[in-house]
Chain A
């Protein structure tokens, strides 16, 4: 299988690299806004949406490029955390809003992307680092899911 492994910094096309860089730049803008004492909710949402769009586009069009997929996994984990916080806010405001997508699903999607990187990544120091970080992030995403409820066989009868 080693033959099919990818180099970490390799991009299939210039367009993939361009989209990836735009995504990273937008994610940095998100971070900068989130670090402010009073961040603006619309700006945060806009930056996260844009970052997700760039990385998603990259992953869908160039599925073999590893770095965009890694960052897409990170964006999905951040999004899951945001959805959790929103759900909690609605709970406090007693205005329950069903989320478009559950945080658990986002965490599981993120874990899938990290798992795929771990399968695709090649050797070298960069490769080893990305493999370890992807595995850690995959475990982190899985660990953040809620406990799965046990099915009661008596009730199910």
Chain B
């Protein structure tokens, strides 16, 4: 019933083909609900409030439908998700920018696949032009609240990030993540435009990925994007080399690692045996069984058995058992 209502609410322009992405945007907006409201008009805020009240009455689907239907216009998307960030410092601020970067990337991806026109001019050209743009916004927005004002966007924040209070490692993460996402989106667009070998979107993707890899040269997601772009540029062999860095290379000489010792059979089996025999509370009999089956135990094995049985077997009983079993100071073969 409610699904039918939701369909009516959405109207004819529903965008169900991107429902995972819409869900992602809703989740990101939930991380700090105040951020969602700041850019909506008075009428939209009232509608949202009304739907929030309906949501409290258990009518969730219409709310979701409404959030799906609220699409940013093209200029909003290409300018960056136009949501002011709170005045915060350090790690919190870094995390918040990452949240907004992800939302921006999803909106761009929706635009790429949604048929609305996304042009190269809408997107950042390079780091320097973005810094210049951000400085202009900061000057223009001084009358409001500087770089954190309503005119500032994710693009401005990322451009100005090095002058911010965010720790340098987090700065590198955000910058790499942001440019890698742009590179991936440009590569996707190049694929849709059927560009092969060379083309404007592919050239832009290459520019973005080079910036992303400057600060984080071995970061796996960026390596994967690099491999995709390189293959689209028809350098298949080079793309395979990049993939080998991501997936590793087959090496016949190195034996496969053993499972971590904690899952070794002896300690598990001994713990199991103690657990089953604990009900008889006869430490001497249990110790004899262990000795007959496994011989002397290593300190390592005793430690693992103790850890495995903590909270399951009476500590005194466990102690009485191990007193009667010879213990070798070095690891015994398991």
Is the C-beta of B323 less than 8 angstroms from some C-beta in chain A? no
Q: Are A136 and B98 in contact (CB under 8 A)?
A: yes
| Interface-lining segment among B75-83, B257-265, B289-297 | B257-265
Q: Are A15 and B308 in contact (CB under 8 A)?
A: yes
Q: Are A136 and B28 in contact (CB under 8 A)?
A: yes
Q: Are B254 and A42 in contact (CB under 8 A)?
A: yes
Known: A46-B257, A136-B95, A143-B105. A85 touches B246 (CB 8 A): yes
A-B contact pairs, 19 of them (CB 8 A): A14-B310, A14-B311, A33-B248, A35-B218, A39-B248, A42-B250, A88-B224, A89-B247, A92-B231, A92-B236, A132-B31, A132-B95, A135-B27, A139-B28, A139-B102, A140-B102, A143-B21, A145-B21, A147-B109
Q: Are B307 and A14 in contact (CB under 8 A)?
A: yes
Is the C-beta of A38 less than 8 angstroms from some C-beta in chain B? yes
Is the C-beta of A43 less than 8 angstroms from some C-beta in chain B? yes
Contacts of B257 in A (CB 8 A): 43, 46-47
Min CB distance, B196 to chain A, in Å? 14
Chain A proximity mask over B99-112: 1 for CB below 8 Å, otherwise 0: 10010011001000
Chain B proximity mask over A23-39: 1 for CB below 8 Å, otherwise 0: 00110000001110111
Known: A135-B30, A140-B102. A81 touches B19 (CB 8 A): no
Contacts of B312 in A (CB 8 A): 13
Chain A proximity mask over B20-35: 1 for CB below 8 Å, otherwise 0: 1101110110110000
Known: A26-B260, A135-B30. A81 touches B221 (CB 8 A): yes
Q: How far is it, in angstroms, between the C-alpha of A28 and the C-alpha of B220 when the chains are bound?
A: 15
Q: Are A22 and B17 in contact (CB under 8 A)?
A: no
Q: Are B21 and A147 in contact (CB under 8 A)?
A: yes
Binding site for B on A (CB under 8 A): 13-15, 18, 22, 25-26, 33-35, 37-47, 50, 81-82, 84-86, 88-89, 92-93, 108, 132-133, 135-136, 138-140, 142-143, 145, 147-150
B286-334 CB contacts (< 8 Å) to partner A:
307-308, 310-312
Cross-interface CB contact of B247 among A35, A86, A143, A148, cutoff 8 Å: A86
Question: A35 — nearest CB in chain B belongs to which residue?
Answer: B218
Contacts of B113 in A (CB 8 A): 147
Q: Are A85 and B247 in contact (CB under 8 A)?
A: yes
Contacts of A143 in B (CB 8 A): 20-21, 24, 102, 105-106, 109
Contacts of B158 in A (CB 8 A): none
Min CB distance, B112 to chain A, in Å? 9
Contacts of A81 in B (CB 8 A): 220-221, 224
Q: How far is it, in angstroms, between the C-alpha of A37 and the C-alpha of B241 when the chains are bound?
A: 12
Q: Are A41 and B17 in contact (CB under 8 A)?
A: no
Contacts of B221 in A (CB 8 A): 81
Min CB distance, B303 to chain A, in Å? 11
Q: How far is it, in angstroms, between the C-alpha of A95 and the C-alpha of B208 when the chains are bound?
A: 30
Q: How far is it, in angstroms, between the C-alpha of A22 and the C-alpha of B254 when the chains are bound?
A: 23
Contacts of A41 in B (CB 8 A): 247-251
Q: Are B254 and A43 in contact (CB under 8 A)?
A: yes
Min CB distance, B315 to chain A, in Å? 12
Contacts of B250 in A (CB 8 A): 40-42
Q: Are B102 and A39 in contact (CB under 8 A)?
A: no
Q: Are A40 and B254 in contact (CB under 8 A)?
A: yes
